[in-house]
Structure 1
């Protein structure tokens, strides 16, 4: 059997796995992805990408394509409840309008959200977005093999040996990779083989995800909604909008302890029941597919074992009610890709890879806890999500930070933490461990954001009086053989900041600087120019690179 050798083997071809392939190619690293299914998802599954993930796709030039894929779902806002659709709309009409103080608060929250990112969330569903990711992965040279399953693997001090099988013709292949990523979803074969234990509450409920075709345009046009809680004597469920026209998904719990099984609820059952549920007895209903799923909230105790890493649902299982499953997985692999690249290129020591677990595992834990708070005992969304005022809660404070994808701060060897730093303070104000503050600038006549600058390299962003940093950065980059770019942000700087807003936004003096990692997170903050900037910068980078 001929052995193929690759730097990184990716197991799993969902949103996280495909994104990993793209990010690695973006950093100049070859990968091979195997996925046991024959194609990308044919089921909508996730229905959106948060602002942080859209920043990552913006970096890849995919922002426009993903926004286009989600344009039909974009108007879907609001949460309804009622036994029929007409009753749900009537209940919504009865809800009191926010008073002037609430409106002012809501407007302030929305304005603040626009200030923290150069982009915004998108509502594309996975069945539409995954083909975009697959095309991009292939375009960038990623080796993506569907209908290929992982049979076994073992690791040693120098790499991972894996055996895979082509499910179309039964042929087997031997692969040798320097590192392996398990992004193979819930019930991950990679996780099971590694025997890494979970933390969390585990299974909250068993549900059916029913893909429904029903033309409701005449009813919902101008009243587009996101989720509808249905409570009736014969059923309870949540209907989710997919394209606001004729495609919807219905999530309904079933109880194995009562002897109920998915096959007890065939398509004909729902096609007969749904017209009365909708309150539209003449509606034509077609069930296009039924996907049983388990509502679980749990996180692996470690996202790394030796040369093997976990990401996405393989590392942290959440319910869909917080909208954080695929989003967190994509951010996982973005965090890992640049670290793998620097280690594989010999620029950083393998110790840098240990920071993947120390940074992303706490995020996974927080996401699991938030998801649990949004999930009821039967696995459906909590009833509180459909009460008046729930939207205000979701747009404010911690919930808003979690949903936008910015609600965390890293603490690891890859961050130089400041003395007295508050681990609970996630404000994007230049503090190390947080995503670099967003500020619109002009570069060579084009509008750009500070978030856009650190794509594949370390970046030093200085204040208006930061000229001395440039010479220091040039020397240090050469000494460490590191791709390091330095920019002075000023009215006459490399990046035009006409009002000198950057020092205030970054929390530095005019001669200070932020060192930003290739993933856009602040690694180190120099409040002002040190006496020996070259030595200081070199020491910091050596520390960060392991």
Structure 2
């Protein structure tokens, strides 16, 4: 099996396949694991999957427990607050750190994970697929033959586009969001839980603890958002301007360590399976990130897909299971 995309969904799919005795290779366009602010919340249904594959203890060590949720007006007492059930495990952990953990476990199975590799085209045959892949350094092209190919290459998926699969739904054009990782001792100035929704028509957002850092994600109206070219300095300024409006304490001391822009989407591929190619994660479906369901559903894709493909390739079950 060939996996296109070395985000957590692609890596976790490859890990489950390798555990099941399937030969697998991973190709990724970027030069390394992406370190920008991305997903940060994991619910019990995903923790159960981590337990099945033996990475739960490492994930828990690297994370902090989810203590609860609050909804509040900017710099005001909570409108509503709920604690997370103590008999269930839910955590906060940066997506990049989860990817690092999976990558370490994947190395035990000698699975090749090749960064700086771009999928150029693919050719489906009755019994296999030819994937034509280019090394970004040197631009050498190779033909890679595989039984199945998994497109876990994100919302702008090259795999989905090469197959011509419609990405149905809509994108929010009236605003963008900017996610940031900040170093700031917020708990010195308040007793907020680990996840907090800021409710306001203009300065709405979410504040989530991810460890020693906090993830602050803010909404920006279309007339204020970034231009077509990603402007990191402008995004940092927008976050700095927003912090004193939503957080208590001396926010001018906050260290903004990373920022990343997003457009919010509600989209779903018209189909996830096309011959011997399967879409997973954001390549298959995009959803509002504020509920923590984007990576959650992507990891569930990986769990189900990895086990079903093993049944097909190792146990000789019918490929119709993939449908």
**Which position in structure 1 is the counterpart of 2:102?**
133
Match of 2:222 among 248, 255, 273: 255
The offset of 1:160, in angstroms, is 1.0
Distance 2:120 2:300 in 1: 27
CA shift in 2, pair 1:321/1:273, >3 Å = closer
Equivalent position SS for 1:139: helix
| Paired residue secondary structure (2:42) | coil
Secondary structure (helix, strand or coil) at the match of 2:189 reads helix
Q: In 2, distance between residues paired with 1:260 and 1:42?
A: 20
Q: Kindly indicate whether residue 294 of structure 2 is the aligned counterpart of residue 303 of structure 1.
A: no
Match of 1:219 in 2: 189
Q: Which moved more, 1:311-320 or 1:321-330?
A: 321-330
Which whole-Å CA distance do the structure 1 matches of 2:248 and 2:306 have between them? 50
Q: Confirm or deny: 8 A CA contact 2:68 2:195 kept in the other structure.
A: yes
Residues in 2 aligned to 1:278 and 1:346: alpha-carbon distance in whole angstroms: 55
2:27 to 29, 34, 52: 34
The answer to whether 1:336 aligns with 2:305 is yes
Deviations 1:331-356 (A, max 9, x none): 112212222223223622322332xx
Q: Which residue is 1:49 aligned to?
A: 42
Match of 1:241 in 2: 208
Deviations 1:345-402 (A, max 9, x none): 3622322332xxxxxxxxxxxxxxxxxxxxxxxxxxxxxxxxxxxxxxxxxxxxxxxx
Does 282-291 or 187-196 show the bigger shift? 282-291
Secondary structure in 1 matching 2:91:
coil
Whether contact under 8 Å (1:40, 1:131) holds in the other structure is yes
- Quick check: 1:209–1:249 contact (8 Å CA) kept in 2? yes
Q: Distance in 2 between matches of 1:282 and 1:226?
A: 18
- Aligned counterpart, 1:23: 16
* Shift in CA distance, 282/352, structure 1 to aligned 2, threshold 3 Å: closer
- Residues 329-338 or 164-173, more deviating: 164-173
Structure 2: 5+ residue runs without aligned partners?
none
Paired residue for 1:83? 74
Q: 5 Å matches for 1:68-217?
A: 68-71=61-64, 74-84=65-75, 88=76, 91-92=77-78, 114=87, 120-203=89-172, 205-217=175-187
Maintained 8 Å contact 1:42/1:127: yes
Provide the rounded CA distance (Å) in 2 between the counterparts of 1:244 and 1:181: 32
Question: Corresponding residue for 1:11?
Answer: 4
Q: Is the contact between residue 212 and residue 250 of structure 1 (CA under 8 Å) also seen in structure 2? A: no
More helix by share: 1
Alignment check: 8 A CA contact 2:7 2:99 kept? yes
**What 5-or-longer segments of structure 1 have no aligned partner?**
1-7, 99-105, 355-546
With normalisation by structure 1, the TM-score equals 0.54
Q: Secondary structure at the match of 1:42?
A: coil
User: Matched residue of 1:33: which SS?
Assistant: strand
- 1:316 Cα deviation from its structure 2 partner: 0.8
Bigger Cα Rg: 1
**Any conservation in 1 of the 2:156–2:283 contact (CA below 8 Å)?**
yes
* Secondary structure of 1:236's aligned partner: coil
For residues 267-304 of structure 1, what are the alpha-carbon distances to aligned partners after superposition, in whole Å with 9 as ceiling and x for unaligned?
24433553454353563133223211111011112110
Q: Highest relative contact order (Cα 8 Å, sep 6+), 1 or 2?
A: 2
Contact 1:80–1:225 (Cα < 8 Å) also in 2: no
State TM-score, norm by structure 2: 0.87
Aligned residues, how many?
319
1:27 positional shift: 0.9
Residue 231 of structure 1 deviates from its aligned partner by 3.5
1:44 and 1:292 map into 2 onto residues whose CA distance is 9
Q: Distance in 1 between matches of 2:38 and 2:188?
A: 25
Going by fraction, where is strand more abundant, 1 or 2? Answer: 2
User: Is 1:286 matched up with 2:255?
Assistant: yes
Distance 1:175 1:11 in 2: 12
**Deviation at residue 75 of structure 1 after TM alignment:** 4.8
Aligned CA RMSD, in angstroms, stands at: 2.8
Distance 1:76 1:44 in 2: 21
